[in-house]
Structure 1
Amino acid sequence: MLVATVNPALPGIAAHFADRPDAELLVRLALTLPALFIALGSLAAGQACDRFGRKPIFAASIAGYAASGAVCFFAGSLEQLLLGRCLQGLCAAGAVTACTTLIADLYEGEARQRMIGRQGAAVAGSSMVFVLLGGLLAVASWRAPFALYMAAILLLPPLLLAIREPAARDRGDAAILPVAARALPVVGFAALTSILMFLPTINAPFLFQAEGVTDPRWIGVALAAMTGAGVATALNYARLRRHRDAWQVFVPVLASAGLGMAIIGAAPGYGAKVAGLVFVGVAMGLMIPGLTGLMLERVAPPARAVAIGLLTAALFFGEFLSPLVTELPKRLLGLPGLFLLGAAVCGGGALALWWVGRGTVAPGLADPSLERTLD
């Protein structure tokens, strides 16, 4: 929701502030800057969940998220808009970390995998709905999509009533560095995957503009098709895990993303590019459940909150870096060439994971030595 809702409004925001020579850069930054603040905030959010509890952090983050949406809605300058987006990022960090840690605390085994998949489906499904609403509202005004963020306050009463705080024994007091050392492969892979997967999100509106599609409603439909495609794959995450090691889940993830980017880069026309986005969406539906499953298998229960905070930081730091890392290739190759390069990287990654993991079916186990050090 943080990115999807405002994405169709990007051209309108750029047009409103067109008198500034740096408007296009700052508008792109308004899309990605929250990711940086989610990354920074997530490093502290895990420890805050251990100290103050999952539910209080979750509730406070939802309230702050709605308030920061109001800051963006009433922004009178790009600086005020960027400030609101930074606050949104910090609040989203607390909400994402607390929510995922609650799932890890309250569910185990295949039930946890199903809930992780449902969480991914909820993210994809809500993104589909809100990108459509954002596209419709952006026709009226670039400010209108930001009103949807304020609606998050409606989630607060059911959250307070329905969610229970896990027992204190489920919480730990893990230091970041030991957990980070254990989780480093997952953290690095998450950041790289996020850079690749965010490439279509940040560039698709401008690619459609180059194709002559300027109506934000049609841009919203295309992005909704991408996010909606992830709902079915996320819901099937637990079924996929019955037959694959946690790392091997990413073979079809990267293969589907690579195919989608190849279609976007090579095939002309609105319909073909939407089809490519659907393949990318299929991959995105499995990405977050897959990474969450990987992380939870590598750390012991007392380290869950800190580990989830690190994973969230890696994902959103990758999103923030994506436009910066891809700027030079985009200038050298153009937007179609950038997508073809992304397709090649994804395809190579899928082949490498398949080759390394041939015959591996059993999921990994948490490191018992780490559990002893954190007791």
Structure 2
Amino acid sequence: MKEKTKSFLLELFILLSGTLTVMAGAIIAPILKDMADFFSDIPNINLISKLVLSVTSLAIAVGALFIGVIIDRFGRKPVLVTTTILYALFGTIGFYAMNIYVILVSRILLGLAVSGIMTSCTTLIGDYFSGEKRNQVLGFQSTLMSFVGALSILLGGAFLTISWNYAFLIYFISIIFLPGIIIFIPEPKRNTDDELVVEISDDDSNDSNAGFPIKVGLLSYSFMFLIMVVYFFIPSQFSFYLSDFNVEKKFLVGLAIAFPAIFSGIASFFFKFIKKNLDTQLIFIINLIFVGTGFFLLSFAPTYWVILLGSAIAGLGWGIFMPNINSWLLLHTPNKIRGRVVGLFTTMLYMGQFVSPLIAESIIPRINLFGQMEIPGLFLIGGIAVFVLLLMPITLLLIHIINNKKLDDKPSEVL
């Protein structure tokens, strides 16, 4: 097989594997309300049904704390293959288990599998790609994840016409990817000292003396957690929010939830070109302006179609945010600890997803802000929070301007 073909198939199956992570939540987002109705005799079922979505995030967050160490010690591919199999096994339990608590347990186990898949895939991107090619692959990763996420949401909504539990069958797709993962993704080579051998020329990756990137790490972790808490209001609340607009067609519910993912995918496709011309922090500023504006539109939306507009604008901002923050972190991460650094990042991402509906449920009954109550008020608070978060990239950008240099030009200079 030609080297170019091998490289293409390697990239393809890393990217396809990454889509499994977004399916974990996207598939069941449209079915939450119907599942809650099915188990309506169970106390606090509205909260429990939302936990079916968010408890997976908690399991991913906890699992990623340990999976990064396992990946660095035993290899990327063994973890990826094993967790891909477990993904299909645990993900489909919701189809035939007509017990909400069994489904909750299966979602925890699914989350542990996803932590291995996501951390392995992002680590492999850092191992095999660098510079503009890495930015391109990260952009493609976000694009593919967004479109597959949108498709999963639409499929989940479509399966509602049969029954809510049929959506869980989609998790079998990981078995289709498995042969390609086994055949076309080799384990990165290691030298006699059991250190990864990866040709990287434009960042800190090959510095054997480099340790944990404290400043960039802490900033990216906290930034990821906070923005995810807010952004996850959309998938966790939308099916309930749309009921206030008398949106009864299941497909329209799925379309509204999928809209941010569709536009996120469009935006992330152009990440490589955006990154060529703009500083990391300036990209963050643009991201947050789009996301915040989208949330304000969602808060004051008078019709379903304005909801779609707000969703699209928020999605455009999110589409560049994820590859940008991944690129920023990978640029400053040494090969030898990449799995651990990415694992901690995965933990913060999914911890934000987990606490998001808990925060929402605790404050929704109390919200009355500028006449906006309950879920519209929640989106308003989210928009305000996003604009407050603008202070971080603005501050970092000002520091770069004062120092007359970009952060990305010299990886050793973090701030």
Does the TM-score normalized on the shorter chain lie above 0.5?
yes
Aligned partner of 1:105 in structure 2 is 127
Aligned partner of 1:250 in structure 2 is 284
Are 1:6 and 2:28 counterparts?
A: yes
Report the CA distance shift for 1:340/1:20 in structure 2 as closer, same or farther (over 3 A).
Answer: same
Are 1:179 and 2:212 counterparts?
A: yes
Paired residues for 1:1-375 under 5 Å: 1-168=23-190, 169-170=195-196, 179=212, 181-182=214-215, 183-333=217-367, 334-350=374-390, 353-354=393-394, 356-358=396-398, 359=401, 361-363=406-408, 365-367=410-412
Tell me the SS of whatever aligns to 1:326.
helix
TM-superposition CA deviations, 1:48-102 (whole Å, max 9, x none): 1112211111111110000012222111211110011111100000000000100
Please identify, of 131-140 and 297-306, the stretch whose mean Cα deviation from structure 2 is larger.
297-306
Structure-2 separation of matches of 1:347 and 1:184: 20
TM-superposition CA deviations, 1:308-342 (whole Å, max 9, x none): 11111100000001112233332222111111111
Could you tell me the percent identity over the aligned residues? 28
Query: Are 2:234 and 2:257, in contact at CA under 8 Å, matched by a contact in 1?
Result: no
Report the CA distance shift for 1:75/1:365 in structure 2 as closer, same or farther (over 3 A).
Answer: farther
- Cα deviation, residue 181, structure 1: 4.2
Q: Unpaired runs of 5+ in structure 1?
A: 173-177, 370-375
Structure-2 separation of matches of 1:52 and 1:323: 35
Please identify, of 182-191 and 78-87, the stretch whose mean Cα deviation from structure 2 is larger.
182-191
Structure-1 separation of matches of 2:306 and 2:386: 19
Aligned Cα root-mean-square deviation (Å) = 1.9
Aligned partner of 1:373 in structure 2 is none
TM-superposition CA deviations, 1:163-221 (whole Å, max 9, x none): 1111113279xxxxx73845112111110011111111111111101111133211111
**Corresponding pairs, count:** 364
Deviating 4+ runs (over 6 angstroms): none
Query: Are 1:262 and 1:343, in contact at CA under 8 Å, matched by a contact in 2?
Result: yes
Structure-1 separation of matches of 2:64 and 2:321: 18
TM-superposition CA deviations, 1:1-45 (whole Å, max 9, x none): 111110111111001100112211110100100000000011111
Report the CA distance shift for 1:44/1:222 in structure 2 as closer, same or farther (over 3 A).
Answer: same
Structure-2 separation of matches of 1:318 and 1:367: 29
Q: TM-score, normalised by structure 2?
A: 0.84
Structure-2 separation of matches of 1:362 and 1:190: 18
Query: Are 1:252 and 1:350, in contact at CA under 8 Å, matched by a contact in 2?
Result: no
Q: TM-score, normalised by structure 1?
A: 0.92
Residue type of the partner of 2:380? L
- Cα deviation, residue 243, structure 1: 2.3
- Cα deviation, residue 295, structure 1: 1.2
Structure-2 separation of matches of 1:77 and 1:215: 26
Tell me the SS of whatever aligns to 1:179.
coil
Report the CA distance shift for 1:41/1:352 in structure 2 as closer, same or farther (over 3 A).
Answer: closer
Structure-1 separation of matches of 2:268 and 2:53: 24
Tell me the SS of whatever aligns to 2:40.
coil
Aligned partner of 1:372 in structure 2 is none
Structure-1 separation of matches of 2:106 and 2:259: 28
Structure-1 separation of matches of 2:330 and 2:349: 15
Query: Are 1:132 and 1:217, in contact at CA under 8 Å, matched by a contact in 2?
Result: yes
Q: Unpaired runs of 5+ in structure 2?
A: 1-22, 198-204, 206-210, 368-373
- Cα deviation, residue 354, structure 1: 3.0
Query: Are 2:213 and 2:332, in contact at CA under 8 Å, matched by a contact in 1?
Result: no
Structure-2 separation of matches of 1:242 and 1:290: 12
Tell me the SS of whatever aligns to 2:408.
coil
Report the CA distance shift for 1:245/1:302 in structure 2 as closer, same or farther (over 3 A).
Answer: farther
Aligned partner of 1:175 in structure 2 is none
TM-superposition CA deviations, 1:136-172 (whole Å, max 9, x none): 0022111111000122111100111111111113279
Structure-2 separation of matches of 1:56 and 1:368: 35
Please identify, of 66-75 and 26-35, the stretch whose mean Cα deviation from structure 2 is larger.
66-75
